Chain A
């Protein structure tokens, strides 16, 4: 069968052996090449493609990422890291954080912070990195990692990969979408070419040329929960040591990212035009940079939400055409790769389109977007900030009921809801709850009944193991040099 893919190469490589693939891309339409931070799932995507990590890190100017540092979110002056890893380990089936809370009772100053019980946090703070160990008994196995890289270079890398594996690239701009009995029959390009296909993957970004333009999927708008709708992006020269984490600093009407790459630092200011104007937002960004500015800032606009349906007839939307969530938790590429994985699992055989496939794709992707949305909203609503209209709004807005219930259960007695599908595991929720000052009012009485001294000893042992293990790791720059990447 033939699948036509529209837009960036990111969407195509792993379908290469399932079908003949044509990629329609226009050089006239620029792509946004900002520094991109990711989540650990990207490693499994790359592994499935057989990509060599060291080669990939060299060619995309990548750095390693152990988590995200959040500054000024709960209160101005606060800082915490959301790590890719656990806090301690369950004790007799009861969660470590409950034992930690118990240990802090009475003598909070003598108990290590919860963050000290997470190896990726300790290593990130120390600027150290090494890949995790396989041995599940070792604290060295309790974390994962992702990358920070130049998105333009990653796209070029995947384009090479896809083209050497038989994907045909057609230069051109889509002028007309021809409808047919099974949805879309063909794309007509400005130069007169006609591209037929059995399946069309819409990677056309916010324009959503096929899924919305032709098929009118409809959009669920989430601006009332996530009002940020624009961003300024600007690269700077690296200043200071290369840290193995992304930083997200809360600002008066949004937040600012800092993504360290090998050759430069990506910066951006995500803001809400309801609460500030683009000129002021630009000034906020330029006033808060560490290194020398390397280019003119560029502004992007976006709309938070998702399509009601991401697969309709023979058209599958992947990436921004499917939905958008601000990059606060580096989820953009993950959502793309998750959709690719689902598409491959549900790939039509012999061009047979079964409504059950589309229904499952739509169910699974909607659930994923909804759960990421709730996690992002948590960052904004779990705050004591009331210093600007933006934060006063965020602090008091009505929450999605699915999120309000989760927060209430944690605030009451430290219950973290677990789900089968959805990328953020309990440790991620814990990091943000505690990092943004939501403390359980009570803990499990069975933990509370244990001797406090035992809990303290356990916490101290975990913190000690994290500290010693982190001290044994190379610095992030040394590790990059070791695998042949300049740092």
Chain B
């Protein structure tokens, strides 16, 4: 007998889940059926008609036979070497958080600590000047084949279509009609899904990808935690505007009085998303479901938790959850051990991503009612420890299952304007001149590498003609 894995949500989240699972589940034992939930969203928060796809998805795409160039060409998307922040700092200076490495350590001492020593000696150092991706972004240069860590900006509809095709090729099926209702037994097990054409599906496992509505998980696992006291933005408004000139190969995120505006350049247009406290736009709320997996229903994407799309965390978290689900694949409808292990790591990952966002607001120096309020708001415990230790000496305690790495944190804090009071004492052991040489050599190598890259517009033109 084949067991049915019902994916609720014929959207980006649902097709990613279906593609990942259909590749891994033996077809003689499982069918993967994707059901339209009728909400019309993308299952990931539905913020904008474009989504930032982090570098971590490259492997997943490759497994499905999709390379980055194909994705960008077929969807009319673009590349992002990082995020440029405008107006966040007290001095309103621009700052850049790249997807690649920033600088290199010397004698085991982290780059940002070397920079701390130089700054204390009176030399101004901009971390981004030593990040290949950041310098390439500022120079407007990029080549798809170059060893540059980057994200993609992909329009949701065509991206979803490509993943749908990949999922169907891998053996996933599309249900005959939209979802109408679920029968849930007293013990919390989803026993039957009814579709609009009267078809009944008895699911062995349900993956709820129906977005914040969580049409099944909201019934099987209703409790959730409201995070809006830490992340108060509750409205988003997206618009697509025609682009002027060559698009830049990065995301621009400008702070506003009541939130921020992201600009995601595509091929020929920009998508602008404003995320704010109050104001016009679609309402949302930062939150997390306590138990994403309960009984035979696993909530994924926005059904499991929602964070404002300041960084491309939604897809990173989704991919991690799918990898965990395969590790913990259940043997039956009741799998409390597996669910507990899944929920522990999923919650830790989501909290790590949440804290990374909260940290931006906690340290950004911008003046204004919202910003002044955020700087003084209390922080979740683990984030407070991280913030205090970084502020003291640029060190970062790291916790289990975090999605951002130590260097991301260091560069982000630095970008927002938080300068450690002191640097790692070990940096004093290395002669100042040796540190200066190390940084200068690195900077020269970065510049030489960037010079060898074509202008981004030229790279995009070449990409289009490869079709």
One digit per residue, 1 when the CB lies within 8 angstroms of any chain B CB and 0 when it does not, for chain A 14-25 equals: 000110000000
Listed by A's residue number, 14 A-B pairs whose Cβ atoms lie within 8 Å are A18-B426, A18-B429, A93-B323, A346-B393, A347-B425, A354-B422, A356-B392, A357-B393, A360-B395, A363-B397, A364-B397, A413-B337, A446-B25, A449-B26
Are B24 and A354 within 8 A (Cβ)? no
Question: In residues 391-450 of chain B, which contact A (Cβ within 8 Å)?
Answer: 391-393, 395, 397-402, 421-426, 428-429
Alpha-carbon gap, A447 to B338, bound state (A): 15
Are B400 and A419 within 8 A (Cβ)? yes
Given contacts A17-B429, A446-B25, contact A349 B422 (CB under 8 A): yes
Given A93-B327, A409-B340, A442-B331: 5 more A-B contacts, CB < 8 Å = A18-B426, A347-B424, A356-B385, A445-B329, A450-B26
Are B326 and A446 within 8 A (Cβ)? yes
Quick check: is B367 within 8 A (CB to CB) of the other chain?
Answer: no
Whole-angstrom distance between the Cβ of B338 and the nearest chain A Cβ: 7
Quick check: is B389 within 8 A (CB to CB) of the other chain?
Answer: yes
Contacts of A404 in B (CB 8 A): none
* B interface residues, how many (CB within 8 angstroms): 37
Quick check: is B328 within 8 A (CB to CB) of the other chain?
Answer: yes
Quick check: is B94 within 8 A (CB to CB) of the other chain?
Answer: no
Quick check: is B330 within 8 A (CB to CB) of the other chain?
Answer: yes
Choice from B399, B400, B428 contacting A349 with Cβ under 8 Å: B428
Whole-angstrom distance between the Cβ of B264 and the nearest chain A Cβ: 31
Alpha-carbon gap, A106 to B89, bound state (A): 66
Choice from A92, A409, A418, A449 contacting B337 with Cβ under 8 Å: A409
Are B400 and A449 within 8 A (Cβ)? no
Quick check: is A481 within 8 A (CB to CB) of the other chain?
Answer: no
Given contacts A345-B395, A446-B329, contact A18 B428 (CB under 8 A): yes
Quick check: is A152 within 8 A (CB to CB) of the other chain?
Answer: no
Choice from B24, B25, B337 contacting A412 with Cβ under 8 Å: B337
Closest to B386 in A: A360
Choice from A347, A363, A449, A450 contacting B426 with Cβ under 8 Å: A347
Contacts of B392 in A (CB 8 A): 354, 356-357
Quick check: is B388 within 8 A (CB to CB) of the other chain?
Answer: yes
Choice from A93, A347, A415, A442 contacting B341 with Cβ under 8 Å: A415
Quick check: is A483 within 8 A (CB to CB) of the other chain?
Answer: no
Alpha-carbon gap, A446 to B392, bound state (A): 48
Bin the interface of chain A by size: 35 or more
Quick check: is A54 within 8 A (CB to CB) of the other chain?
Answer: no
Give the interface SS of chain B, mostly helix, strand, loop or mixed: loop
Whole-angstrom distance between the Cβ of B378 and the nearest chain A Cβ: 17
Closest to A15 in B: B425
Quick check: is B187 within 8 A (CB to CB) of the other chain?
Answer: no
Quick check: is A239 within 8 A (CB to CB) of the other chain?
Answer: no
Alpha-carbon gap, A421 to B340, bound state (A): 21
Alpha-carbon gap, A432 to B323, bound state (A): 26
Quick check: is A91 within 8 A (CB to CB) of the other chain?
Answer: no
Are A356 and B388 within 8 A (Cβ)? yes
One digit per residue, 1 when the CB lies within 8 angstroms of any chain A CB and 0 when it does not, for chain B 71-86 equals: 0000000000000000
Alpha-carbon gap, A253 to B29, bound state (A): 51
Q: List the 6 closest pairs (A to B, CB-CB), nearest first.
A: A356-B392, A347-B425, A412-B337, A354-B392, A356-B388, A349-B425
Are A420 and B400 within 8 A (Cβ)? yes
Question: In residues 66-94 of chain A, which contact B (Cβ within 8 Å)?
Answer: 92-94
Alpha-carbon gap, A449 to B330, bound state (A): 13
B contact residues vs A (CB 8 Å cutoff): 24-26, 29, 108, 323, 326-331, 337-338, 340-341, 385, 388-389, 391-393, 395, 397-402, 421-426, 428-429
Interface-central residue, A92, A93, A356, A421, by most chain B CB under 10 Å:
A356
Are B329 and A444 within 8 A (Cβ)? yes
Choice from B385, B391, B425, B428 contacting A359 with Cβ under 8 Å: B385
Alpha-carbon gap, A412 to B392, bound state (A): 44
Contacts of A408 in B (CB 8 A): 337
Question: In residues 214-265 of chain A, which contact B (Cβ within 8 Å)?
Answer: none
Choice from B327, B395, B399, B422 contacting A352 with Cβ under 8 Å: B422
Closest to B113 in A: A345
Alpha-carbon gap, A356 to B340, bound state (A): 33
Quick check: is A348 within 8 A (CB to CB) of the other chain?
Answer: yes
Quick check: is A461 within 8 A (CB to CB) of the other chain?
Answer: no
Contacts of A405 in B (CB 8 A): 340
Alpha-carbon gap, A442 to B328, bound state (A): 11
One digit per residue, 1 when the CB lies within 8 angstroms of any chain B CB and 0 when it does not, for chain A 399-421 equals: 00000010011001101011111
Contacts of A412 in B (CB 8 A): 337
Contacts of A356 in B (CB 8 A): 385, 388-389, 391-393
Contacts of B26 in A (CB 8 A): 446, 449-450
Quick check: is A486 within 8 A (CB to CB) of the other chain?
Answer: no
Alpha-carbon gap, A138 to B17, bound state (A): 34
Alpha-carbon gap, A413 to B331, bound state (A): 10
Contacts of A417 in B (CB 8 A): 341
One digit per residue, 1 when the CB lies within 8 angstroms of any chain B CB and 0 when it does not, for chain A 343-386 equals: 01111111010101101100110000000000000000000000
Alpha-carbon gap, A467 to B399, bound state (A): 39
Are B397 and A360 within 8 A (Cβ)? yes
Whole-angstrom distance between the Cβ of A347 and the nearest chain B Cβ: 4
Whole-angstrom distance between the Cβ of B50 and the nearest chain A Cβ: 30
Alpha-carbon gap, A354 to B401, bound state (A): 28
Closest to B24 in A: A446
One digit per residue, 1 when the CB lies within 8 angstroms of any chain B CB and 0 when it does not, for chain A 39-60 equals: 0000000001000000000000
Closest to B429 in A: A17
